[in-house]
Structure 1
Amino acid sequence: MVAAFGISLTIKAAVGVSSFNSMNVAISELTKIEVGTITTLVNLLFLIACFFIEKNKKIPEYLFMIVSLVCFGSVINLFLYHLLFKVQVGSYFLSIIVFIVGTIIAGYGTGRSLYYGILKFPIEKCCILLVEKYNKSFSYYRYGVDILSILISLSISLVFKLPIYIREGTILSFILLTFVINKTKNNESIIVKKLWVTNGEKM
């Protein structure tokens, strides 16, 4: 829900969307299928890729991820088309702020889910599997997904004469999102550490 809320904020900001979501929004605009549903379907493709890459597969884990992806897409649709439907961002400056906040929230939610191992996102799981197999960095593969998403989004927009969703927000997200995911995936957050130290001192 945290990640889905962050994604919804970036779309509502209307200054472009993240690399991956630019592809999903473009496909959504072309097919008239809701963005959350497209997000689920594309993530399922990455999940299939994970299934073929991973050697020691745990079927219950994959079944849980399928259910989680359906819920994830549904929550995006809930925020975007219902709870935030009437929300309008009044100024360009505020739109940039909303986008940055949404990107950080989305990245934090994704990264912490990876850290605790409660819910694995297919794209990040796929990148981690590729890291283990080919010994390159997580950022290398995650940025690769971003670049591919941008190319697909631009192709759809240009071929079918749709709005171009690659804007300044995309550049901000390209720089910020993977960085936040990578940091929160590998380390305890600063806030959690401070609370832990404070509580420890009190005890």
Structure 2
Amino acid sequence: MFQNRTQAGRLLAEKLLKYQKANGIVLAIPRGGVPVGLEIARALNWPLELLLIKKLGHPQNKEYAIGAVGMQDRIVVPHEEVPESYIESETERARARLVEMQQKFMPNKQPEPIKDRVVIVVDDGIATGNTMLTSVKILRKQEPEAIIIAAPVASWSAVEKLSQEVDKLVLLDVPEEFIGVGRFYSDFAQLTDSDVINYIKMSNE
């Protein structure tokens, strides 16, 4: 059981210190991954940015991911019943939301390039791993040196799904029974946009 995301981030950072001298960047998944990512970025003295990727949901079930959209790239798993017009309109809508998030959380700053860098993708926990998996596939298109996924806790199914897709998976706990990420924290308070902005500011101090 972790006290909160900050404590979990500090414990996770200890397992990542060997990457300190690499040319790297921490990409935190908002909102819950940001305080965890902040502690890792501080320990490694790396920049902290947000992983701005939105899920592309099926038209009949938005929770069922058929792909993901990034600021420049996207991944789509073909489905015969999903028209191209839907994919294009959803991509446009998702990108507009990503631009909005970029301007809100990191105004006047373009995302740093990740080509030839070690990228650590951070979240406060990984349940299914589906969104993380599509995110990794989008990041691969930008040709980083390596992609490392770091999280305090993950399910076994997520570990099996992700371990073949990344260069390293760094976790503190993979419990036999996984019901939800929040069960592994004493304090799992919902974070606001203002919280995220404050964490980003702290990473630049």
Q: Which has the larger radius of gyration?
A: 1
TM-score, normalising length from structure 1?
Answer: 0.30
Kindly indicate whether structure 1 or structure 2 has the higher relative contact order, using CA contacts under 8 Å at least 6 residues apart: 1
- Structure (1/2) with the larger strand percentage: 2
Structure with greater proportional helix content: 1
